[in-house]
Structure 1
């Protein structure tokens, strides 16, 4: 803020000088360096805002590239069982489309023994914790139930299902009045897929069909199989391509407006001649022009340039989806995207364009460093402005004191002059009368 004199307290009736006006005029000249700093701070703020907008657009472009490079986005996988009460299925990208007949003859279950006749819960727990039951304790979890008033039952259940985890209390000793009963014997899950029989210790089976996890829930009626259908339908790449085009064009449009060259300072882009921003745009464009590769960066057969994705770089510098190119590339592109591709992959840096953009906007990257540099410059300018303003406060005070003193002196001299004139006038009149 400029320092100025706004008070007329230094001037008074009869003053020969307008002290406030003189000081105000002098301070306008003194404030010129502050005004110049304000202008530089304002330009710096506009630069930081513009760089922040570019950073935001780069993030959007990075996200659109990642979407195109995510294989799961281009296949719609599903696993459906004709009778959902029998089982459910979870699917991964490794699954292939197929249909299976499935029969479930038995479910995996744990061993359960109940030891009853305890008069307190502590007695039931003590029997379980006794060293004589060490083997049982390793195999089974215990729960104490109050079945009737004063009647406690220790229920022991295998930690896992299947016959391999079975345990027995047949040979375990119990005191008089205590009984042990097997409620449930351990059992494996048994089921068939297309007539091939499987036996597993768990009802969750992930190793029968590649990419499919079966969760068995109940058995099927004899000779009445259910159908498991695995589908893998393709998903159009067009929405993802449109998103990439929009993200790139938005970035390019922002870049052009902020770096515009002009003899007229008012229409010149605030980032005109900014080497870091220009370097960023060259790197993005270069990356888009590089051949598309597979997920590991390996070469792909056939067309691998922008046209292989149905894209075209226009004379205006904008990117566009070309319907003719997309139709020609569609089947191959769909297969490639479902398998996974990398766009703008550089063998020298072993990174793709999305990763490179990520580096640009992180600390140490070209755009983030430009933002940090501009913020540091602005901070220095603000410090210089504050120091200069503090100095000008003292200057204003000195000017005010000096001109107030001069005004007082002139006022005093004016009073002396008036007194002398009055005395001389009196003397002259006296002589005339004589």
Structure 2
């Protein structure tokens, strides 16, 4: 049988207490590891604070790299009830005098003939074709910039409500509504665009309820002011389309819209109502440096936060009469000083400008102070920005500029080096075209109204409106109908149609080798005066710094990633393209390098701490095993001692009893 023992029972020896106190001494090295671990964790958290400050600094760098901050202008109107104004970076500061005599209006049509007692009453089926254009002398000329839209009204859409929904879903440039006047439901059509050139023409074909122009069935919606009432002019005009009319510094201006973006360069005017006669409105354009000042202050604040965080974490506060000495968590470590040094070196470097000159932050009024912090001299910064905003934009932002006005810088790649690039163009991009071989037949009938058009790889059937046209109005009709075809609209494709002596020319809106135009179908011969000549477009071609570049349409991309758009001019030497990454982009790269998870200064410092923590964990594991063995050994030893003392105590008691008995017998 195995015996049951409990430490201290045999001898009253406090085995548990002795072992506990001995283990407290044995665990001293483990406590030291705990203190080392706490210190390492504190340092790791400190580097996390520095990383957070650098991440904030990176955000300000990205903000500084936005060129729009440095060229912003603002515009104000002396009477915002008449008009409001805003300005872009290309506007010229100054004051302009304006008078508004008419505001632009959209045309509104209503159906006096078409009135139903229920929104679900059937009207008729067929096809509605909606066009925008100009009426003059009883003749409608399609607006060539606005696509014609054909809408099929089948039996599922033939109610007044279904017709409204079909028109609105077609994105035809018209909004349809239903108005209940108390006696019935009437259809109302409103052009989505203001201006005389956006008057409505609504044609009906395939009317199941009667002819296409009478006042029955779907033809109740037909509207052609050149026709007779009840015979195609079946809607009533409740508001005529009207252009805006105004004077700007005494110059008369007529525009189709109340939002004017091309009257004063770089200024957008929003006309709200006519002004009082003889009381001009003043529009003032001035430069705004608030975004620049704010961005510069954010940048300085972000750097000062990094410097302040590092100073706090590495400082040493000597002992005083009222407090003990205090050491920063990272005092004595090299990484924080190295990080601050790299940032300061970046902040003092010069930046190559687009004109070849170099600038530094101090040239703009942003400089280090005696205490190591940075500050902004806003007066100096604003003075430089007002004198040359493009210069400031070029300093902070990644930018490119071509010496040739016909060439536009688009973008650069990550490997594009700062510098000057020579551009030579061997081939200008062209658009695909089709030139008719003879004058067009100006009379369009059911026999020649259908065309099969192929444009830039997409194909569609196009149906022209019947009637007799002038050469100019036929060109506008064809352009409007082709561009209104859903297959082309959905693909973002468009065509331009012009005429000369009755001969039509069809030109794709896109450039490059995929730009092509061809026309077939029943009406092709009449429209083209024969067969016509097709010419495919070509891509721009040339070299950048002597190396072949890749052309796509008007875009030329160099081997190093610089991308240019050659929009005008001729072949040959086209001058230089200047590229700079800007201070914002440079400093953002510095910040990225510091926070790189593999090679950055922070990664090196925190990697060392991580290794320390792993080593501490490993040592703790070994020490815990050793302490467990030690405690086991001590407990066994003191338990054995306890048993031994217990036995000796028993023997002592026995001997004492025997000696006492012997003494009594001898007495």
Q: Under TM normalisation by the shorter chain, which class is it? A: 0.7 to 0.9
Aligned 8 A contact 2:315 2:328 in 1: yes
Aligned 8 A contact 2:297 2:376 in 1: no
Looking at structure 2, the residues matched to 166 and 239 of structure 1 have their Cα atoms a distance apart, in angstroms, of 48
**Greater RCO structure (CA 8 Å; 6+ sep):** 1
**Residue 145 of structure 1 aligns with which residue?**
179
**Residue 121 of structure 2 aligns with which residue?**
123
1:366 paired residue among 596, 600, 614: 600
- What SS class does the counterpart of residue 127 from structure 2 fall into? helix
Aligned 8 A contact 1:344 1:353 in 2: no
Looking at structure 2, the residues matched to 387 and 272 of structure 1 have their Cα atoms a distance apart, in angstroms, of 30
**Residue 659 of structure 2 aligns with which residue?**
424
Looking at structure 1, the residues matched to 215 and 397 of structure 2 have their Cα atoms a distance apart, in angstroms, of 74
Extract unaligned runs of 5+ from structure 1: 1-8
- Answer with 200-209 or 270-279: which moved more: 270-279
- Answer with 282-291 or 407-416: which moved more: 407-416
Looking at structure 2, the residues matched to 102 and 118 of structure 1 have their Cα atoms a distance apart, in angstroms, of 47
Looking at structure 1, the residues matched to 239 and 333 of structure 2 have their Cα atoms a distance apart, in angstroms, of 78
Aligned 8 A contact 2:40 2:613 in 1: no
Aligned 8 A contact 1:69 1:337 in 2: no
Give the drift of 1:405. Answer: 4.4
Give the drift of 1:370. Answer: 5.0
Give the drift of 1:47. Answer: 0.7
TM-score where L is the length of structure 1:
0.75
**Residue 6 of structure 1 aligns with which residue?**
none
The within-5 A match list for 1:52-131 is 52-59=48-55, 61=57, 77-115=73-111, 116-123=114-121, 130-131=125-126
- What SS class does the counterpart of residue 181 from structure 2 fall into? strand
Aligned 8 A contact 1:139 1:165 in 2: no
User: Where is the helix percentage greater, Structure 1 or Structure 2?
Assistant: 1
- What SS class does the counterpart of residue 122 from structure 1 fall into? coil
Extract unaligned runs of 5+ from structure 2: 131-149, 151-166, 204-211, 221-233, 320-324, 399-416, 420-579
- Answer with 250-259 or 14-23: which moved more: 250-259
- What SS class does the counterpart of residue 340 from structure 1 fall into? helix
- What SS class does the counterpart of residue 36 from structure 2 fall into? helix
Aligned 8 A contact 1:287 1:343 in 2: no
**Residue 650 of structure 2 aligns with which residue?**
415
Structure 2 residue 372 is the aligned partner of structure 1 residue 318? yes
Give the drift of 1:409. Answer: 3.7
Give the drift of 1:286. Answer: 0.8
**Residue 4 of structure 1 aligns with which residue?**
none
Looking at structure 1, the residues matched to 42 and 6 of structure 2 have their Cα atoms a distance apart, in angstroms, of 41
**Residue 353 of structure 1 aligns with which residue?**
587
Shift in CA distance, 252/285, structure 1 to aligned 2, threshold 3 Å: same
TM-score where L is the length of structure 2:
0.52
**Residue 310 of structure 2 aligns with which residue?**
255
Aligned 8 A contact 2:307 2:373 in 1: no
1:156 paired residue among 185, 189, 196: 189
- Answer with 277-286 or 21-30: which moved more: 21-30
**Could you give the per-residue CA deviations for residues 240-275 of structure 1, whole angstroms, max 9, x where no partner exists?**
77776665455445435544699x9x8665435645
Aligned 8 A contact 1:110 1:162 in 2: yes
Looking at structure 1, the residues matched to 260 and 328 of structure 2 have their Cα atoms a distance apart, in angstroms, of 63
Aligned residue pairs, count: 411
Shift in CA distance, 344/144, structure 1 to aligned 2, threshold 3 Å: closer
Aligned 8 A contact 1:292 1:341 in 2: no
